[in-house]
């Protein structure tokens, strides 16, 4: 294994530029069993994003009166220029913020689909290939489901913010497999799981509640891929490679934090209301004072604590990089506490599997037109 980032043969890769390597006759027999359990369960959590038996996008929701997500998820709504707006405008603004957040999720799902499709052509092990191809298939139904939801509620999603858009492009396009694993399979998937768990617990929209439940049920299987890679790789990396993994992880972490809290990223949202994002950003600074950045993150505390906790458990946060996480979070508390969003994700996934078992029992899996019998 000449690739210094490969410590288990299940994660060997090639560039994917030529196909000849995939027809090496010795390759087919070298299949890992690491992911067979997850692959075998894929039918247990099958769902069809276009079948109302799984999600009924026609369920009503009054965007003018009700909040899709609580205002507390968007701390700038408490800053002076926004706090003084009338209540209907604040509700509309909060719901546009939810639209922006969920648009980012949709772009992330599309990136995960593209990244998995590329990895299926780069990873060498047939078992790992099957896992990642299966993940690509499941990400594609998430894209369909979130696109359906955006169409039902708002007509169309927002374009990606500059920061998250650039990051997703880099993750999909990089030829370095470790950067894909750390960036997407661990960090972006981990952040998505935390956001889904938070949204699932807090949304008042029954469609979004069901959607996130079904997506969590899939994602809990995907997320384990990144964890498995970290467990089998990180402890055995040479110092130079370990440093590269740690540095890339903290760089992606900081990008994700900034994307979620930075008012500038969401300027398209505020422009719809004739509001100046720079004025709002300045008001947030004044509202939170010198500890503005850390305080803003503390408003999103559960999501980022969960993400940092996951990196700690994966051995990717060490003394070299800990201070960079500590600029945003109380790392002593993160290291000491349980990962509650992971706990919630596990519960949602378990109840989602039970739900799908009930629905799928009534399904006739015959061709593409099969639908659940009423």
Q: Tell me if 71 contacts other proteins by CB under 8 A.
A: yes
SS3 225: helix
Beta-bridge partner residues of 13: 123
16: alpha, beta or left? (left if phi > 0; alpha if psi -120 to 50)? left
Q: Tell me if 65 contacts other proteins by CB under 8 A.
A: yes
**One symbol per residue from 110 to 139: x for binding other proteins (CB under 8 A), - otherwise; what is it?**
------------------------------
Stretch that binds other proteins, among 3-11, 228-236, 284-292, 336-344 (CB under 8 A): 336-344
Q: Tell me if 86 contacts other proteins by CB under 8 A.
A: no
Minimum gap (Å) between residue 220 Cβ and other proteins: 13
Q: Tell me if 335 contacts other proteins by CB under 8 A.
A: no
Q: Tell me if 296 contacts other proteins by CB under 8 A.
A: no
The dihedral built from the CA positions of residue 119, 197, 285 and 158, taken in this order, carries a sign that is: positive
Structure tokens that stand for 293 in this block: 């950045």
Q: Tell me if 105 contacts other proteins by CB under 8 A.
A: no
Q: Tell me if 217 contacts other proteins by CB under 8 A.
A: no
Measure CA of the first residue to CA of the last residue in the chain; give whole Å: 54
The dihedral built from the CA positions of residue 193, 195, 198 and 203, taken in this order, carries a sign that is: negative
Q: In which residue are the tokens 């720079």 written?
A: 278
Phi, psi (degrees; rounded to nearest 5) at 27: -70, -40
Stretch that binds other proteins, among 2-10, 182-190, 319-327, 338-346 (CB under 8 A): 338-346
3-state helix, strand and coil shares in percent for the chain, rounded to the nearest 5: 70, 0, 30
Q: Which of 233, 302, 321, 360 binds other proteins (CB under 8 A)?
A: 302
SS3 363: strand
Q: Tell me if 201 contacts other proteins by CB under 8 A.
A: yes
Q: In which residue are the tokens 């497999």 written?
A: 177
Task: Tell me how crowded residue 36 is: count the other CB atoms within 10 A of its CB.
Answer: 13
Q: Tell me if 273 contacts other proteins by CB under 8 A.
A: no
Q: Closer to other proteins by CB, 174 or 202: give it.
A: 202
Q: Closer to other proteins by CB, 68 or 245: give it.
A: 68
Q: Tell me if 44 contacts other proteins by CB under 8 A.
A: no
Q: Taking a C-beta distance cutoff of 8 angstroms, is the pair 157, 102 a contact? A: yes
Q: Closer to other proteins by CB, 292 or 347: give it.
A: 347
Q: Closer to other proteins by CB, 49 or 75: give it.
A: 75
Q: Tell me if 10 contacts other proteins by CB under 8 A.
A: no
DSSP label at residue 185: I
Q: Tell me if 340 contacts other proteins by CB under 8 A.
A: yes
Per-residue CA distances from 174 to 15, 108, 123, 167, 246 (Å):
11, 16, 14, 10, 17
Which residues of this chain interact with other proteins, rule CB under 8 A?
A: 61-62, 65-67, 70-73, 75, 87, 91, 197-198, 200-204, 209, 298-303, 305, 337-338, 340-341, 343-344, 346-348, 350-351, 354
């Amino acid at each position: 294994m000449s690739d210094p980032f490969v410590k288990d043969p299940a994660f060997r890769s090639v560039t994917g530029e030529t196909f000849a390597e995939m027809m090496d006759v010795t390759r087919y027999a070298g299949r890992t069993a690491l992911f067979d359990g997850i692959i075998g369960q894929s039918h247990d959590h099958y769902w069809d994003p276009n079948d109302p038996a799984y999600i009924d996008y026609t369920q009503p929701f009054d965007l003018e009166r009700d909040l899709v997500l609580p205002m507390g998820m968007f701390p700038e709504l408490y800053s002076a220029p926004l706090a003084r707006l009338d209540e209907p405008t604040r509700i509309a603004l909060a719901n546009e913020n939810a639209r922006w957040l969920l648009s980012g999720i949709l772009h992330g799902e599309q990136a995960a689909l593209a990244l998995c499709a590329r990895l299926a052509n780069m990873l060498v092990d047939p078992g790992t290939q099957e896992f990642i191809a299966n993940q690509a298939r499941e990400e594609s139904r998430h894209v369909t489901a979130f696109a359906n939801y955006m169409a039902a509620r708002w007509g169309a999603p927002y374009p990606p913010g500059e920061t998250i858009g650039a990051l997703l492009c880099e993750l999909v396009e990089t030829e370095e497999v470790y950067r894909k694993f750390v960036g997407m399979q661990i960090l972006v998937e981990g952040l998505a799981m935390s956001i889904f768990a938070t949204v699932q617990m807090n949304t008042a929209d029954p469609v979004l509640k069901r959607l996130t439940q079904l997506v969590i049920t899939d994602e809990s299987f995907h997320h384990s891929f990144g964890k498995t890679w970290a467990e089998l790789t990180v402890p055995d990396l040479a110092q130079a490679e370990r440093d590269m993994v740690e540095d890339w992880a903290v760089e992606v972490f900081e990008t994700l934090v900034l994307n979620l809290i930075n008012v500038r990223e969401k300027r398209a949202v505020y422009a719809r209301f004739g509001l100046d994002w720079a004025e709002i950003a300045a008001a947030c600074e004044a509202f939170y004072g010198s500890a503005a950045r850390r305080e803003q993150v503390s408003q999103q505390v559960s999501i980022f604590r969960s993400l940092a906790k996951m990196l700690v458990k994966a051995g990717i946060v060490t003394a070299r990089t800990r201070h960079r996480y500590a600029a945003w979070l109380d790392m002593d508390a993160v290291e000491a506490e349980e990962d509650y969003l992971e706990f919630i994700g596990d519960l949602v996934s378990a109840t989602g599997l039970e739900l799908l078992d009930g629905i799928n029992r009534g399904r006739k899996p015959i061709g593409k037109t099969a639908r659940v019998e009423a």
